[in-house]
Structure 1
Amino acid sequence: MTARLVGRRPHVEPEALIAALVPPPHFAKATFASYVPDPDFPSQEAAVAEVRAFAKGVGRRGLGALRRASGGRGIYLDGGFGVGKTHLLAALAHEVGRSAVFGTFVEYTHLVGALGFQSTRAALQDFSVVCIDEFELDDPGDTVLMARLMRELADAGVAIAATSNTLPGSLGQGRFAADDFKREIQALSHVFEVITIDGPDYRGRGDLAFPAPATVDQVLSACAGDDAACEDWGALMEDLTHVHPSRYGAYVEGVAVLGLRGVTPLPDQAQALRVVSLVDRLYDRDVRIIASGHSLGEIFSQDMLRGGFRKKYYRALSRLLAMVAGE
C-alpha cells in the first residue's frame, strides 16, 4: 500500500529533536578519507587538512576527557554549491562522535522555536562541537538569534563549525560571503577561522536544467511500492501549513519515492520557504522525486530568485534536481 504524507501529524519529544541532530543519511558515511579533492583547486585539499586538525582539537565533553584546543573556537567553511562543504562538516561530526551535534541553520532556528532559547542553549552546551550547515544571512531576526546562540555556546567552551554558500553565479568569490558572515555575527567573528573552498559544483549542474515533467501515469507507476508516497501538489502545500518545520523530518520518514501530481508555481514566499525546508529533509534522506504538471525548476518565481531568500531557493533547486535525476 502506498504511503501518504498529507494528514501526518508527527509528535516529536524535545529529547528526540536533540537526538536527531546528526549527519543525515545522505552524509552518513562521509569521512575525511572519502572526500576527493579536485587537483585543479588546491584549496580543497588544504580544507581537508584544516578541518581534520580542528576535529582533533575538539574535546569529548561529558565523556571524561578535558576540553582541548578547539573549545570555544570556530571554523567557517566558505564556498559555492557542490564543493564538499557539507561533506567535510559531516566528516567532522563523525570524527568527534557522540559529543557532536549536526544540523542546518534552519533546523537550529526551528529547534529554538520548538524548545525556547534557554532550553536549546542548555541542551547544546553539553556537546563538544555544534556543526551548523548552510548558515543563512537572509533573515535578520534569525541571524541575530543564531549569533547570540553561538556566542553563548562559545563562551561555554563549545566549538562551532559552520558552512554557507555563495550564489551559483558567484563561484570563486567566496571571500565576499565570508565578509558578510563575519560582519553579521559581529562580536563573535573573532573566534572564527575562515576556510575558503574553491571549485565548481561537483555535480556539474551549474545551469540547473531540469528534465521534462513526468506524466500522471508515470507518477502513479513510480509510486507503487510500500516506501513510496503519491500526493497532489496543492493538497501537500496546504498540509504543510499544519506541520511545524522542525517535524518535517518525521513527516517524511520512511518515504523513499515521492510522487507529485499537478505541480504549479508557488504563489507566495511563506509557502516557498516551507517547500525549501521540506526539500532539505527529503534530500537528507535521498528521496527520489517524480512529478507531473509544471517543471520543479519553475516553482520559484523570478522575483523570488532575485530576492532576499534567493540562496535558499537556489539550494532547493539544486537539491530538487539531484532528487529528480535520481542521483
Structure 2
Amino acid sequence: MSASPAEPAPTSPATPATGPVSLCAREPRVAAERLVGEMVPPPRFDSVRFATYVPDPNQPSQTEAVTVLSAFAAGLGQDPGGKRRWFGRKPGTAAAPGGPRGVYLDGGYGVGKTHLLASLWHATPAAPEQKAFGTFVELTNLVGALGFQQTVRTLAGHRLLCIDEFELDDPGDTVLVSSLLSRLVEAGVALAATSNTLPGKLGEGRFAAADFMREIQGLSARFRPLRIDGEDYRHRGLPEAPAPLTTEQVTRAAHTTEAASLDDFPALLAHLATVHPSRYGALTEGLRVACFTDVGPVPDQSTALRLVVLADRLYDREIPVLASGLPFDRLFSDEMLNGGYRKKYFRAISRLTALARDAKGLRAE
C-alpha cells in the first residue's frame, strides 16, 4: 500500500493574525469550467505511482492488480493503425462488440484502490486534458452542471475516465450513469472505477435494484472486474486511534493554527444538508486542519452519507482532524453499520481515524 502520510509540519505557537474559519459560514459555488478542470487526482494522490504501491505479500491479488493495470495503461496508447488498444490486445485488433471497455477495482476499504486508480491516470500516455479523474458524485454533478449532451461532448474526446467511489444509491443515478457511460464507450473512452461493491451487486441493499437490473447489468458489462483483497493499510502496524480531545483543547488548537476551521459538529452536519456533496471539496479549500467540537452519533442515514463524502474530501486533501466528543468509531449506529451502506461507513471511520493521527503534531496542550 502507499506509505502513511507524513506528519504535518509543526505549527507556530504564535496566534494567527485571523481566527479560525467556520465551515458553516461557507456556501461554495463552483463554476462548470472549474468542475471539468479539477477532474484530476486529488492532492493526496498527486504523486502516487504503481512503483509506490507496496503490495501485501500475503495478498497476491494486489500484485496482480498492479500488473493488469500497468498493461491497461500501456494499452491506452495509440497503435500505428490509429486504433486504441484495450488490455494490451494486439495492434489493429478491434475490441469485441459490447465487451468490457474498462477495469473495475473491487475490494474492501483501505486496500489501496484509489492509489491504484490514480496511478493508472498518471501512467496513461496522454496529456492531462485527455484524461479525467473524479468521484462518482462529482461525475453526476458535472452532468447536472453541464447537461447530459454537453457532458458527453466534453468527455468524449478523453482517452480515459477514472471514477472513484463508484456507487449507485438511487434509480436516477443508475439510469443516468448507464446512459452516460454507454455514450462514452461508443466514443472510444476507456473506463476505470473503484468501489466496495462488485459491479453486478451495485445498488443492492440501497433501493429496488431488481427493477433496474437491465441498467445495472449494462453497467457491469462495461468493466472487467479486478478483485483486490487485503486489510486496511491505514491501521496496519499503527498505534490505537488517538482519544478525543476536550473542547478546550480543540478550540485552543484552532485559534493557534494557521488556516484552521472550527465548527460545532451537530451544526456542521446540519450545514452539509445545504451544500451539494460535489462542493465539499470547495468547502474545505485552503484548510490546514479541521477542528470539530461535540462530536456525537449521526442522527440518520442521509446525514451519515453526507458525512462520508466530507470525510473523503478531507482525506484526499490531507486535512488533519482534531475533535472533541465521541471517538469516530461511534459515529454510526449498529443499524447503519449492518445495512446496505456499511462499507461506506467503515471507510469513513477508517479515514477519519487516520486524519486524527495526522493531527497529532497540531494539538495544543
TM-score (norm 1): 0.87
CA contact (8 A) 2:55 2:63 kept: yes
1:310 aligns to 2:326 (yes or no): no
User: Which residue in the other structure is 1:111 paired with?
Assistant: 142
The structure whose Rg is larger is: 2
1:135 aligns to 2:135 (yes or no): no
Q: Gaps (5+ residues) in structure 1? A: 167-176
Aligned length: 313
Task: Please list the CA deviations of residues 29-81 of structure 1 after superposition, one character each: whole Å capped at 9, or x if unmatched.
Answer: 11111111222222222211110111112247xxxx94511388111112222
Q: Identify the match of residue 322 of structure 2 among 262, 273, 290.
A: 290
Q: Distance in 2 between matches of 1:35 and 1:326?
A: 20
Residue 301 of structure 1 deviates from its aligned partner by 1.5
24 and 178 in structure 1: CA distance in 2 versus 1, 3 angstrom threshold: same
User: Which residue in the other structure is 2:246 paired with?
Assistant: 215
Residue 178 of structure 1 deviates from its aligned partner by 4.9
Task: Please list the CA deviations of residues 60-116 of structure 1 after superposition, one character each: whole Å capped at 9, or x if unmatched.
Answer: 7xxxx9451138811111222222211111011112241211111222123223333
- After superposition, where does 1:165-314 map in structure 2 within 5 Å? 165=196, 177-181=198-202, 185-204=216-235, 210-223=241-254, 224-314=256-346
CA contact (8 A) 1:59 1:66 kept: no
1:75 aligns to 2:106 (yes or no): no
CA contact (8 A) 1:3 1:226 kept: no
284 and 118 in structure 1: CA distance in 2 versus 1, 3 angstrom threshold: same
**Equivalent residue of 1:231, what SS?**
strand
User: Which residue in the other structure is 1:161 paired with?
Assistant: 192
- After superposition, where does 1:10-89 map in structure 2 within 5 Å? 10-59=28-77, 66-70=82-86, 73-89=101-117
Q: Gaps (5+ residues) in structure 2? A: 1-17, 87-94, 204-212, 360-365
1:95 aligns to 2:123 (yes or no): yes
CA-atom RMSD in angstroms: 2.5
Q: Distance in 2 between matches of 1:195 and 1:104?
A: 19
Q: Identify the match of residue 152 of structure 2 among 114, 118, 121.
A: 121
Q: Distance in 1 between matches of 2:105 and 2:49?
A: 16
**Equivalent residue of 2:234, what SS?**
coil
Residue 209 of structure 1 deviates from its aligned partner by 6.5
Q: Distance in 1 between matches of 2:251 and 2:195?
A: 37
Q: Distance in 2 between matches of 1:116 and 1:306?
A: 36
Task: Please list the CA deviations of residues 224-267 of structure 1 after superposition, one character each: whole Å capped at 9, or x if unmatched.
Answer: 22211111112212222222222111110011211101112121
**Equivalent residue of 1:260, what SS?**
strand
Give the counterpart letter for 1:121 in structure 2.
V
Q: Distance in 2 between matches of 1:267 and 1:275?
A: 11
CA contact (8 A) 2:131 2:161 kept: yes
1:5 aligns to 2:33 (yes or no): no
86 and 279 in structure 1: CA distance in 2 versus 1, 3 angstrom threshold: same
After alignment, is 299-308 or 135-144 more displaced? 135-144
Give the counterpart letter for 1:180 in structure 2.
K
Q: Distance in 2 between matches of 1:321 and 1:41?
A: 24
Q: Distance in 2 between matches of 1:289 and 1:51?
A: 33
- Give the % identical residues: 52
CA contact (8 A) 2:163 2:193 kept: yes
Q: Distance in 2 between matches of 1:259 and 1:145?
A: 37
Q: Distance in 1 between matches of 2:116 and 2:300?
A: 34
Give the counterpart letter for 2:216 in structure 1.
I
